[in-house]
Amino acid sequence: MRTAILIAVCFLAFCLLNGCEEEPVKNNVEEGKPVKKKAKPKQSLIEYAKPKPKEKRPKNPITDENVEQRLLEYGKKNPETIVKIYTSKGLIKARLYKDTPLHRANFIMMSKKGFLNGSVFTRVVMNFIAQSGGTFDEDHAAIKQNIGRYTVPAEMKKHRFHKKGAIAAARRYGENPDKRSDPYAFYFVEGTQYNKPTLDVYEREHKYVYSKQQREYYMKYPGAAHLDGQHTVFGEIISGNSVVSKITEVETDSRDWPKKDLFIDSVVVVR
């Protein structure tokens, strides 16, 4: 009898000593069961009464409805046309065209607001283009949000075509019959030469007629003829075409994205 009582007392003591320890939690996710969340500590009335911070909205954003007015106004106050673009592969000096006022003003605005600083090259293809303007960090997202969501009306001109060194705006192809430009993305043209039959095919496919100047150029010098009539060309490289070639020579993945990120370090507005 005494032995039984002693065993019972020892067992009770063992349970009391080990009862506070939790059993290992099972991986309910693997078992297909919902994971039970621990109850959150109760908030005090003071904490509960604190208003949640509201998302900051741009005070006067640019939209598709006001974009022309806003960019023309900005362009009058910021008439610069020469910029220096510092990249991972070297310096590119460029001139923006006055006869594409919306795109010129937009590029100057992006440069002065610092949006292009630190942007990456998202697509590079040898003998074709080097596209940039891609950004993914919070600072660039904030700049985008403050400027607004909009597209830039097309400003295509026959004498502003995709010759080697041209700077043009990227755009969305689907649901964009007016070929409006993406305000945040652009590309440099490296290009290749074309023959007459190829240019004839592009004319039929795109319902676009090349001028005599365009035909003579493309059959003699490199460019991206099939993009004429599809994208707005708003500037050209003054010096630094060799830098674009260095960019397009890098190794890329299946999406033409450089395997090692290449950046636009900064853009300086000169005059």
Q: Residues 73-128: pLDDT tens digits?
A: 999 999 999 999 999 999 999 999 999 999 999 999 999 999 999 999 999 999 99
Percent of the chain scoring above 70 in pLDDT: 79
CA distance 49 to 219: 72
Asked if the model's pLDDT at residue 34 lies above 80, the reply is no
pLDDT tens digit sequence for 216-263:
999 999 999 999 999 999 999 999 999 999 999 999 999 999 999 999
Nearest 5°: the CA angle 188, 93, 82 is: 105
Model confidence pTM above 0.85: no
In a domain, 207, yes or no: yes
In a domain, 45, yes or no: no
Number of domains in the chain: 1
> Domain of 116?
68-269
In a domain, 203, yes or no: yes
With a CB cutoff of 8 Å and minimum separation 6, the contacts of 153 are 67, 68, 102, 178, 180, 181
In a domain, 265, yes or no: yes
In a domain, 42, yes or no: no
Q: How confident is the model at residue 55 (pLDDT cuts 50, 70, 90)?
A: low
